[in-house]
Chains A and B, each alone.
Chain A
Amino acid sequence: MMIRKMRFIVPVLLIAAVSAQGGTVTLSFNQHSTQNMFQTRDAVAEQISAFSLSIDQDFSALSVLANLEYSAFRQTAGLGFFAADAGFDYLLPTGAKSAFYFAAGGGGTFYRQEYGAFSSLGANLLGAFKTYLAPSSILKLQWQGMYAVYKDSLFDFLSQIATLSIDKYFKTRTTFKADAEWGYKYFLHPFLPEPIEPLTEAVTTMAASNGMGTGTGSGSGQGWGGQRYQGGNGFIPRTSSEGGGAGIGHISLSLLAAQGIGDIVGLSVSAVRQWTVTGENPFLSIEEFYLVQNPSTDSFSWEGRQLNGRITMNLPWSVELKAGYTYSDKTYPGVESMSLEGVPLGLGRNDLRHLFEARLEKNFRRGSLFLAYSWVDNRSSDPLFVWKSHFIMCGFQWNLPVGRKGGIS
């Protein structure tokens, strides 16, 4: 099995490495351990090994990139995925203090049959402008558009995000930064057809016809995908006789204050407030897996607030320590809280989360080694999503010397 995989991976590596002459090649390996893979009250422990290879090649102001990634899950083997993406970016200076940045890319993520519904192909465009209003003040504008199609077309979407940020650095070594964001995500066809029979049976039928196995379609633990869909069990689509698409849009404001203390310590606090200004989530219930790009929830899904505090320290022997705490209060418009028996509770889903994170990183001659620990306490109006868990991650990154050594690259 492993040899079969290597026969595929090795030629890819060879082509990638040879084509990267003069560029940058980065290999990384991360090992993750979690007590709660699916982030529900029914904790499932998991060990995940993630490998990646990135290549970056500059051609004048144009830079080409490619990335390959493979993640293996020990318990939930069906979640193992292979991802590949490629793209280019272009830097266009407009004087010594300003520049435009453009990027385009595409890629795919491919899961095994059990989670085949998550497999996707996508493309993205990005345009940004950055300028120094003064040596101590920066203005940035950015727009990003994305399009993705999934094996299960419920998740197909178009999205765009525009951001504006401005900051100011003071002699007291304090930086203030303000961000404003507008985002809109349009699910192209997120609804199942209206059931003729009772809802739960119809969901079961449709899920099965989508190759997702059988399930009860409730929050009872059987879930949308049913028995062949290991873990999770929180996702429930809506039905509609009209079909069509559904969009959700938000605006958000964030403020950040950062303070340098001495030469080795950095402190920052930030606050984000996000409002859903149009539409709602098209799904009745959503879920969020660790380390998996879950298509039913992302930065568009919620409104509420988030507070963050962080400390960064440069320690002796090229060791860096980062630690932070994040409190979030998120409501998911359109998503219902349900009892463990799958009965709607008549209120929207709201999650309060406390997240502690710490990361220790040691830099070596050609790479880095890190150890990270996180602890999450998630309280939710939906009892399925009341959980606490630890996450441990360690890994290394190795930069291969295929670039030129001169000042240029």
Chain B
Amino acid sequence: MSTKFALIPILAALVAGPAAGQTAGHFYDVDKEVKIEGIVRQVSLEPRYKGTAPFLVLSVEDPRDAKRYSIEVSPSWFFNQDIHGGERVTVVGSLTGGPGEAPTVIAREVRWRGETITLRDKRGFPSWQGGPQRKRGIRRFGSF
């Protein structure tokens, strides 16, 4: 089998992927992307969606107007990163939530302590990967 032909179904499968399973109401809308800078007031693990693992949710307060945002981070982050109440964070994400609901941000990027954690690409597709099990492997110089 020619390698060129072999690659075609792979690419087809990858391109077909995004069309599947997008939800109508609660999704990452790039047109509603916002940047929130604030203080973490609460950290919790909440069941947000049917059929998925619970999400790490941060309650972040904007110190300028004391407005609180509910930040949806990811299912696995609860074990991978240690974020505390009181820490300053900058979150880039998509603002959701209807009238009368607390503003919710689906996080794409979280910055704190000089580090940036990318959770989704710029179109909102998830890029997170599981928990501590993924940290195995060889320690490489320069890999931190």
> CA–CA, A60 to B53, complex, Å?
5
In the assembled complex, A18 has its CB within 8 A of some CB on chain B: yes
> CA–CA, A290 to B139, complex, Å?
9
Which of these, A17, A89, A167, contacts B82 with CB under 8 Å? A167
Which of these, A96, A175, A320, contacts B46 with CB under 8 Å? A96
> CA–CA, A376 to B139, complex, Å?
14
Segment among A21-29, A149-157, A193-201 that sits at the interface with chain B: A21-29
Q: Are B127 and A399 within 8 A (Cβ)? A: yes
In the assembled complex, A406 has its CB within 8 A of some CB on chain B: yes
Query: What chain B residues lie within 8 Å of A17 (beta carbons)?
Result: 10, 13-14
Query: What chain B residues lie within 8 Å of A65 (beta carbons)?
Result: 129-130, 133-134
Given contacts A355-B141, A401-B121, contact A266 B114 (CB under 8 A): yes
1/0 per residue B95-132: CB within 8 Å of A? 01000000000100001111110100111111111111
> CA–CA, A314 to B114, complex, Å?
5
1/0 per residue A152-174: CB within 8 Å of B? 00000000000000010111010
> CA–CA, A318 to B109, complex, Å?
11
Query: What chain A residues lie within 8 Å of B123 (beta carbons)?
Result: 365-366, 401, 405
Q: Are A366 and B133 within 8 A (Cβ)? A: no
Q: Are B48 and A408 within 8 A (Cβ)? A: yes
1/0 per residue A90-102: CB within 8 Å of B? 0101011111010
Query: What chain B residues lie within 8 Å of A359 (beta carbons)?
Result: 142-144
In the assembled complex, B67 has its CB within 8 A of some CB on chain A: no
In the assembled complex, A343 has its CB within 8 A of some CB on chain B: no
Segment among A133-141, A182-190, A230-238 that sits at the interface with chain B: A133-141
Q: Are B141 and A357 within 8 A (Cβ)? A: yes
Q: Are B79 and A134 within 8 A (Cβ)? A: no
A87, A173, A401 — which one has the most chain B CB atoms within 10 A of its CB? Answer: A401
Given contacts A314-B116, A406-B27, contact A135 B43 (CB under 8 A): yes
Give the Cβ gap from B124 to chain A, nearest Cβ, in Å: 5
* A20-44 residues at the B interface, CB under 8 angstroms: 20-22, 24-26, 32
> CA–CA, A261 to B23, complex, Å?
40
In the assembled complex, A1 has its CB within 8 A of some CB on chain B: no
**SS of A interface (majority):** strand
> CA–CA, A273 to B78, complex, Å?
28
> CA–CA, A130 to B44, complex, Å?
12
In the assembled complex, B69 has its CB within 8 A of some CB on chain A: no
Q: Are B46 and A404 within 8 A (Cβ)? A: no
Residue of B nearest to A391 (CB): B141
Which of these, B10, B13, B133, contacts A87 with CB under 8 Å? B133
> CA–CA, A22 to B13, complex, Å?
12
Q: Are A264 and B114 within 8 A (Cβ)? A: yes
1/0 per residue A278-315: CB within 8 Å of B? 00000000000011110000000000000000111110
Residue of B nearest to A265 (CB): B114
Residues of B within 8 A of A (CB): 1, 3, 6-7, 9-10, 13-14, 17-18, 20-23, 26-28, 37, 40-49, 51-54, 72, 75-76, 78-79, 82, 84-88, 90, 96, 106, 111-116, 118, 121-134, 136-138, 140-144
Closest 10 CB pairs of A and B: A135-B85, A372-B142, A266-B114, A402-B17, A374-B141, A169-B84, A266-B113, A103-B133, A404-B21, A312-B114
Q: Can you list 30 A-B contacts (CB < 8 A)?
A: A14-B13, A21-B17, A24-B127, A24-B129, A26-B127, A54-B129, A58-B52, A61-B53, A61-B75, A87-B133, A91-B131, A95-B45, A97-B45, A101-B131, A135-B86, A136-B84, A136-B85, A136-B86, A173-B87, A258-B113, A266-B114, A293-B138, A310-B144, A314-B116, A322-B144, A363-B116, A372-B143, A401-B14, A401-B18, A401-B121
Residues of A within 8 A of B (CB): 3, 6-7, 10-11, 13-14, 17-18, 20-22, 24-26, 32, 54, 56, 58, 60-63, 65, 87, 89, 91, 93, 95-99, 101, 103, 105, 124, 126, 128, 130, 132, 134-138, 140, 142, 167, 169-171, 173, 175, 177, 258, 260-261, 263-266, 290-293, 310-314, 318, 320, 322, 324, 355, 357-359, 363, 365-368, 372-374, 376, 391, 393, 399-409
Instruction: Please give 18 more A-B residue pairs, beta carbons under 8 A apart, in addition to A10-B7, A402-B17, A408-B49.
Output: A21-B20, A22-B17, A26-B127, A56-B130, A58-B53, A63-B53, A103-B131, A124-B133, A140-B82, A169-B84, A266-B115, A359-B142, A393-B141, A399-B125, A403-B126, A404-B18, A404-B23, A405-B27
